[in-house]
Chain A
Amino acid sequence: MAKTSDKFLSFQGLILTLQNYWAEQGCVILQPFDTEVGAGTLHPATVLRSLGPKPWNVAYVQPSRRPADGRYGENPNRLQHYYQFQVIMKPNPPNYQELYLGSLEAIGIDMDLHDIRFVEDDWENPTVGAWGLGWEVWCDGMEVSQYTYFQQVGGLDLDLVSGELTYGLERLAMYVQNVDNVYDLVFTEANAANGTPEVLYGDVFHQNEVQQSSYNFEHADTDKILEKFKYAEAECNHLLGLETPLPLPAYEHALKASHLFNLLDARGVVSPTQRQEYIKRVRDLAKGCAEAHVASEKAVTNRAWQ
């Protein structure tokens, strides 16, 4: 197999390398958030922590779900469940671009042979009222990351600007391993000493794609999902309306509502007009959580447990 880089990186090797690299830059290495989300940005470690005046540096992998993108495991590029690697540095350090380029080198992209560009692409996520300016980063014409300087989150101006990096791991791995079908990616290399076999991405996830697609498109009970959406929305509002609001659990319910909406959307039961309305409802939840979070952070003493 012709490799793009000299050093072969398995899919998990790619994750471990990025984790180590960003750990060395002083980032907290977190684990995925345990609620379904559509993108790594939605992890509270990004959305909520980018608010307020406290510095925060973090990196984590986040499984992301986009029910409408499911293709029953038949499309070589599209998945309803995939991984994003997310880095936040708040405030963004002056050499952030250099650090980012260093991470590409770390995963074996030969910076002499490849053409890296920063192409204007301003990012916006209407469901969490967030936007920023930045680029999509191209490597030989392929988008390998989204690079954004956050300006607003939850509809609120930020005290400190966070620099957000999002790597689409499958796509990046396909590039690094020079593979055309995502299921052919080497997830884990064989270990001769122990006799453990090579594991491919498809070995891990193909069935999941088949079954989840079937659920998303055929079996998800839309009436029940709609009820769950309404429940999540109500619960979020309830938690925000408490005398002492609880923005952290409220935000989890906002995320649930967002995912449930995505499920409804995948089933094609949401008309285009309704779509805008749902997005607005989720945005209102996220905005409420952001505001409550900023307020509650002010009341919290630093290291209150000590």
Chain B
Amino acid sequence: MAELLFEIFCEEIPARMQQRAGQDLSKALVDGLKKAGLTVEGEHCYTGPRRLVFTADIPLRSPDISEERKGPRVSSPEQALAGFMRGAGLSDISEAEIRTDPKKGDFYVALIEKSGADSADIIAPLIPEIMNNFPWPKSMKSGTSNFRWVRPLTSMICVLDGKVISFEVGGVKTGNTTEGHRRHGKGPYTVKSFKDYRKQLEGPKKPHGHVMICTCERKDKILTDARAACKAKGLELVEDEGLLNEVAGLAEWPVVILGDMDKGFLELPDDVIRLTLKTHQKTFTVCDPKTGNLAPHYIIVANQIAPDGGEAIKKGNGKVISARLSDAQFFQSEDAKKKLEDYYDKLDTVVFHKKLGSIQEKADRVAALARTLADNIDADPDKAEQAAKLAKCDLVTQTVIEFTSLQGQIGAQMYRRENGDADIATAIEQHYKPQGPSDAVPTNPVAVAVALADKLDTLVGFWAIDEKPTGSKDPFALRRAALGVVRIILENSKRIPLDFFLRSHSNFIFSSMINKKSSEMNKKVSEGLKAMQHLGKNVDVTSFDDDFPAINEIEELAELTDSQMQNLLAFILDRLKVYLRDKGISHDIIDAALTEGQDDLLSIVNRVEALQTFLETSEGENLLAGYKRAANILKAEAKKGELPAGAPNKPSEKESVALYEALQSASPKIEFALNDENYTKAMSELATLRAPIDAFFTHVQVISDDTAVKENNLRLLAQIRDTARQIADFDRING
């Protein structure tokens, strides 16, 4: 085995892309080498701000391959021989051997010898192929070249067993030299092997290139040094894996510096400080281990060993951070000059969607819906309405404009400071939740009402104007909203007749759209008249750019409401299926329990869960088998002619009587239990049919020669089927 060392050196790769690029490069290389017949051992990929490095052990040549291929008999027709020759790559049939088999007689055998290739000859075309098709999330051209890479490519090392493999990618030739750290590691460094490469770049012997090539080691160093720097001052680092990954991708030789800020800034909300430090400055927050509160310090990760011990770097960062936090303080104090509710008026300047109007209009719709939903959620309707109107107000505060991810939190904070109602504050804070499958769901009833109304309004609105997600395109995150609806309802065990709410809200949206349009038109007409009276002034009645749909367009959309809302309900039920599947319930059971016209998610899930439990018992399993048998016979008989209608008469045979009586007794009990939504009870009633069904099939000849008996038996089977179907569509269950 020989060592392959490959380094791609380029201008700064975005930190977020480095790790994935390393994995992609490693996989493509290993797959390509293996496909060419080479064994690959000990492969490893290192990534950093300016380089991707791959190393592995591979043989110097791919093995020779010899293979025998059996051909047709010697006496075979021309065509068969030609086909054989083509397949085996022979130019003349004389190149094949003739073998004799006692049974088959004489036949041809082709001996195919493929000699191996030098690994260098395999690699030289393989790597350009990989790099030319590299899956960067975003790539670019540079200078005069058409080659695309994440940023301009500078150089490449490709060394196998100490020798350079020569090839060219995007106008750059391979070699055996690289550069070190931009400031501390001026090269070139000429390398023979990976060990040599690493030693020259990392040391410990100086001079070295000041490049820590392994991300893990850079992360370790940052973490260890940051903890130590904090500890030395009696502080504690607030660890953040995401930020750690990012800063490890921004420095080749990370140097940790403890910075400080004015204590006064600590009056800002923790999240504002954290976000400023993290997203804008990529610095870690630091806390006081005794109190757990933020401390007026932060950890800078530099890429520079400065002769002044980092004083200038610390000062520079401190200045930027102060300026940013001063801005935040300014925003906060400006925001606090008004009460949260005073921002409501300004919400009409923010567009939610051009056809669905402003955020203010949305807030009004959510408020109306939250009020009507309140009953089903045991929430105070006045509070729900009030909270929904206030929930969006912080969107126009300067703090949220600057720190968008704090939406909800800032509003709640302002409202609490005004000594507002605690439930309403919670609702303002949590109404965007859940933001993803792992985000918590609100539990406070007022918050539940607003969160649910907000998502339903979004869904109904986009369905109403026919902007549904298609394929991978879901620009308004409607799948997430629908999953949010599912989770809020189920995790709070609320009964919501969705169909009713979807339709009534859709109607509400259309009537508000029409009202808005007609009042706008009235306004324009009166302005036009005024202008005509004053003559001179020219009023543009056609208006500049009006994206809001015209009345006839709104009416056209409104006519589709029925089918759109049906479609939306199906969309939400699809999210429910995904949600249940993730909980380990197989899709056939969900399909079986999902019968038409159901819109109460809680009831569906209760049914699904009872069915799943039931089918795991031996009663359930046998009953399913009995059901299938009954259904199959009915299907087969239906093909021969119409099935006998009506209820069965009381039969004469013993087993038939037992089944008849069991059905007579079970059916109403099941119906009763279902009305009561007691699915477990319904299942156990259904289970009582198991023994009579089994006995019936064992002892009774269903397709009797006596037509009357046969017809009655079929009626009995139909009743088994219909009774079971009251609970679920057992046809859809596999098994």
Contact = CB atoms under 8 A, between A and B. Distances in A.
Interface of A: 4, 77, 91-94, 96-97, 101, 110-120, 122, 132-135, 139-142, 149, 151, 158, 160-161, 175, 271-274, 277
Given A91-B143, A113-B308, A115-B303, A140 B317 contact: yes
B459 interface: no
Interface residues of B, number: 47
B307 A112 contact: yes
Contact of B545 (A92, A113, A141, A277): A277
A91 B145 CA distance: 9
Contact of A274 (B182, B316, B544): B544
Given A114-B313, A274-B544, A141 B300 contact: yes
A273 B154 CA distance: 45
A271 B154 CA distance: 47
A134 B152 CA distance: 10
14 contacts: A91-B142, A112-B306, A116-B182, A116-B303, A116-B304, A120-B12, A120-B16, A140-B315, A142-B320, A158-B141, A161-B140, A161-B143, A273-B545, A274-B544
Contact of A114 (B49, B316, B350): B316
B319 A133 contact: no
Nearest to B316: A140
A111 B183 contact: yes
Contact of B250 (A111, A119, A132, A272): A119
B304 A114 contact: yes
Contacts of A92: 142-143, 152
A69 to B, nearest CB: 14
Contacts of B300: 141
B15 interface: yes
A112 B306 CA distance: 6
Given A91-B143, A92-B143, A149-B142, A117 B303 contact: yes
Which of A112, A158, A277 has most B Cβ within 10 Å? A112
Contact of A141 (B139, B143, B281, B307): B281
B31 interface: no
A81 B459 CA distance: 44
B721 to A, nearest CB: 58
Given A77-B323, A272-B349, A122 B138 contact: yes
A97 B11 contact: yes
Which of A91, A117, A141, A161 has most B Cβ within 10 Å? A141
B304 A149 contact: no
Contacts of A91: 142-144
A4 B281 CA distance: 20
Interface in B292-324: 300, 302-304, 306-308, 312-313, 315-317, 319-321, 323
Contacts of B282: 119, 141
Given A120-B16, A149-B140, A273-B351, 14 more contacts: A91-B143, A93-B143, A94-B154, A110-B312, A114-B306, A115-B313, A117-B250, A117-B251, A118-B12, A119-B282, A134-B151, A140-B316, A272-B351, A273-B547
B320 A120 contact: no
Contacts of B144: 91, 160-161
A116 B252 CA distance: 12
Interface string B1-37: 0000000000110111000000000000000000000
B485 to A, nearest CB: 28
Nearest to A270: B544
Interface string B542-578: 0011010000000000000000000000000000000
Interface string B239-253: 000000000001100
Across chains A and B, which 5 residue pairs bring their CB atoms closest together, nearest first?
A140-B316, A120-B14, A118-B12, A141-B317, A277-B545
A200 to B, nearest CB: 20
Given A97-B11, A118-B12, A273-B354, A160 B143 contact: yes
Contacts of A115: 302-304, 306, 313, 316
Nearest to B357: A273
Nearest to B311: A113
Nearest to B151: A133
Contacts of A114: 304, 306, 312-313, 316
Interface in B34-82: 49
Nearest to A137: B12
A181 to B, nearest CB: 12
A113 B141 CA distance: 33
Contact of A135 (B12, B16, B315): B12
Which of A110, A114, A158 has most B Cβ within 10 Å? A114
A83 to B, nearest CB: 20
A113 B257 CA distance: 13
B15 A120 contact: yes
Contacts of B354: 273
Contacts of B152: 92, 94, 96, 149
Nearest to A174: B319
Contacts of B151: 133-134, 149
A101 B186 CA distance: 14
Contacts of A4: 312, 316
Contacts of A158: 141
A161 B146 CA distance: 10
B316 A142 contact: yes
A217 to B, nearest CB: 17
Nearest to A272: B351
Contacts of A77: 323
A194 to B, nearest CB: 35
B306 A113 contact: yes
Contacts of A161: 140-144
A112 B349 CA distance: 49
A160 B146 CA distance: 9
A116 B351 CA distance: 40
B15 to A, nearest CB: 7
Contacts of A111: 183
Contacts of B307: 112-113
Nearest to A110: B312
Contact of B544 (A140, A141, A277): A277
Given A91-B144, A94-B152, A151-B141, A113 B313 contact: yes
B316 A139 contact: yes
A276 B141 CA distance: 30
A271 B547 CA distance: 12
A89 B323 CA distance: 33
Given A141-B321, A142-B320, A151 B140 contact: yes
A133 B351 CA distance: 30
A133 B300 CA distance: 26
Contacts of A139: 316
Interface string B667-686: 00000000000000000000
A152 to B, nearest CB: 11
Contacts of A117: 12, 250-251, 303
B465 to A, nearest CB: 15
A120 B283 CA distance: 16
Contacts of B313: 113-115, 140
